[in-house]
């Protein structure tokens, strides 16, 4: 694995849907960059003002379920409240994620995601941290 940055995402070729490879030094950062990657795929643009914050708490038993639950929550907020985030204060305390997200209303969104799937999902360790491949149904 040759990533030039310690964290980030890239799109992987997929015939029908979207596949995203996300890597980061730790799980909190992996969650953040998975969201940033998802927003990138949908061409999501946030309105400059006014800002808003949202607190989420998610209980989890394994990183894969946490990753999908977190993305699912943000897909829901994108569709139902038309809000997105660019500030991520994420803390994992035992089996709980506490996320304080800051962002704003969505100004534009070009594409729709139906769901983040578990397809071949595995949060893997590598020498610089964690990596996961997420397939989105579109």
Partner 1 sequence: MVSLADLKKINRYEWEIPKSYRSDMRVPVRIFATRQLLEQIKGDKSLEQAVNAATLPGLVDRVVVMPDVHQGYGFPIGGVAATQLPHGIISPGAIGYDINCGVRLLGSQIEYEAVKNNLPGLADTLNRLCPSGVGKKGHLRLKIVELEKVCRTGSRWALNQGYATEADLRRTEEGGQLEGADPTRVSKRAKDRGRSQLGTLGAGNHFIEVGIVDQVFHPQAAQVMGLIEGNLTVMIHCGSRGFGHQICTDYVRDFQSAVNRYSIKLPDRELVCAPLDSPEGEAYLAAMRCAANYAFANRQVLAHYARMAFEEELAGKVSNWHLHQVYDIAHNMGKIESHKIGGRDVDVCVHRKGATRAFGPGFQELPEEYRQLGQPVLVPGSMGTASWVLVGTEESMMRSFGSTCHGAGRTMSRSKAKKSIWGEDLRKELQSKGIQIRAGSMAGLAEEAPQAYKDVDAVVETVQNAGIASKVARLRPVAVIKG
Reference 132, options 15, 59, 26; nearest CA is 26
Query: Peptide bond before 50: cis, by omega within 30 degrees of 0?
Result: yes
Q: How far is the CB of 133 from partner 1 (least distance, A)?
A: 11
**What percent of the residues of the chain are helix, what percent strand, and what percent coil, each to the nearest 5?**
25, 45, 30
Residue 28 buriedness (CB in 10 A; 0-12 / 13-18 / 19+): middle
Assigned token pair, 75: 């897909």
Q: How far is the CB of 79 from partner 1 (least distance, A)?
A: 5
Q: Which is nearer to partner 1, 22 or 135 (CB)?
A: 135
Q: Which is nearer to partner 1, 29 or 97 (CB)?
A: 97
Q: How far is the CB of 48 from partner 1 (least distance, A)?
A: 20
Q: Which is nearer to partner 1, 20 or 29 (CB)?
A: 20
Between CA 65 and CA 9, with CA 125 as vertex, the angle to 5 degrees is 75
Question: Where along the sequence are the contacts to partner 1 (CB under 8 A)?
Answer: 11-18, 42-43, 64-65, 68-69, 72, 76, 78-80, 82, 109-112, 114-115, 117-121, 135, 137-138
Q: Which is nearer to partner 1, 29 or 35 (CB)?
A: 35
- Give the C-alpha separation, 34 to 10, whole Å: 10
Q: How far is the CB of 127 from partner 1 (least distance, A)?
A: 25
């Amino acid at each position: 694995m040759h990533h030039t940055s310690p964290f980030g995402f890239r799109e992987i070729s997929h015939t029908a849907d979207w596949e995203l490879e996300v890597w980061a030094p730790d799980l909190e950062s992996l969650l953040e960059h998975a969201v940033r990657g998802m927003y990138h795929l949908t061409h999501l643009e946030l309105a400059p003002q006014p800002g808003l914050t949202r607190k989420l708490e998610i209980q989890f038993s394994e990183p894969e379920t946490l990753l999908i639950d977190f993305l699912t929550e943000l897909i829901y907020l994108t569709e139902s409240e038309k809000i997105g985030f660019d500030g991520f204060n994420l803390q994992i305390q035992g089996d709980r994620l506490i996320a304080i997200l800051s962002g704003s209303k969505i100004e534009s969104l070009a594409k729709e995601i139906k769901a983040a799937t578990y397809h071949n999902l595995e949060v893997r360790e590598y020498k610089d941290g964690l990596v996961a491949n997420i397939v989105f149904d579109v």
